[in-house]
Amino acid sequence: MESQIDRAMRRTSRYWYEDGLAEMAMGCIFAALGLVFFLQRALPPGPLQALCGMLGPLAAVVGVGLLGSRVLKVAKARITYPRTGYVAYRRMTASHRLQKAAMGGAIGALVATIAALPSLKVWVPAISGLIMGSVWVYLGHRLDLPRFYMLAAAAAVLGILVSLGGFDDLTAGALYFAGLGLAIVVSGAVTLGVYLRSTEPLAEEEGCGQ
């Protein structure tokens, strides 16, 4: 049975996603990955294309991630905290960082192994979609956010459709990540619209207090 402490921690974690802004920032990272694949596909074979393939994904994730984090911080300070208050989150512990790194490494190793097998290469988007879908299902259950189940379904269905489309590797990657990013951004934008319609700015003395 879930304890009061667990319920409080869940509410605190869920609050981060209630305005949809974090989703929009996350969706931009996936969309940037899709853009990198589109760019790599458009470049002629050669050193520049290889360099784009090696450094592009890292630049998209790190660059857009850092920029998105800054924009997200400003957006929450201007939109969210004046309406529903500020919540101080604990810093991520070393063990949590290790768990996330291990999960990311395991997923990357799985996809890379599949991609190395020619007979299974076409199914990389589908398997990536199932993996991403599983992550969204976990988050939806952990945070009690039903809309994350819809994102899970979108991630899985999109991956399967891209795999069935018979595209080359770069086109498939571009379509999958761009499509997934768009779906996440739309989900966040709809959530933000609902949030803005259902909340009002707090009085100044009330705004500090969650």
Entry field: residues in the chain: 210
Percent of the chain surpassing pLDDT 90:
36
Q: 210 in a domain, yes or no?
A: no
Q: What is the pLDDT of residues 16-52, one digit of tens each?
A: 889 999 999 999 999 998 999 999 889 888 888 888 8
Q: Give the pLDDT band of residue 15 (cuts 50, 70, 90).
A: confident
Across 1-10, 34-43, 133-142, least confident range: 1-10
First to last CA, the chain: 25
Q: What's at 83, amino acid-wise?
A: R
Q: Would the pLDDT of 93 be above 80?
A: no
Q: Which residue has the higher pLDDT, 91 or 147?
A: 147
Q: Give the pLDDT band of residue 99 (cuts 50, 70, 90).
A: very low
Spatial contact of 191 and 20, defined as CB atoms under 8 Å apart: yes
State the chain's mean pLDDT as an integer.
81
Q: Which residue has the higher pLDDT, 116 or 130?
A: 130
Domain encompassing residue 77 = 4-201
Q: 95 in a domain, yes or no?
A: yes
> Residue 183 contacts by C-beta under 8 Å, 6 or more apart in sequence?
27, 151, 154, 155, 158
Dig out the tokens for 112 from the structure. 């890379």
Q: 193 in a domain, yes or no?
A: yes
Q: 207 in a domain, yes or no?
A: no
Q: 9 in a domain, yes or no?
A: yes
Distance CA 206, CA 77 (A): 15
- pLDDT at res. 94: 46
Number of domains in the chain: 1
Q: Would the pLDDT of 104 be above 60?
A: no
Q: Give the pLDDT band of residue 122 (cuts 50, 70, 90).
A: confident
Q: Which residue has the higher pLDDT, 118 or 161?
A: 161
Q: 206 in a domain, yes or no?
A: no
Mean pLDDT, residues 135-153: 91
Q: 208 in a domain, yes or no?
A: no
Q: Give the pLDDT band of residue 175 (cuts 50, 70, 90).
A: very high
Q: 195 in a domain, yes or no?
A: yes
Q: What's at 18, amino acid-wise?
A: E
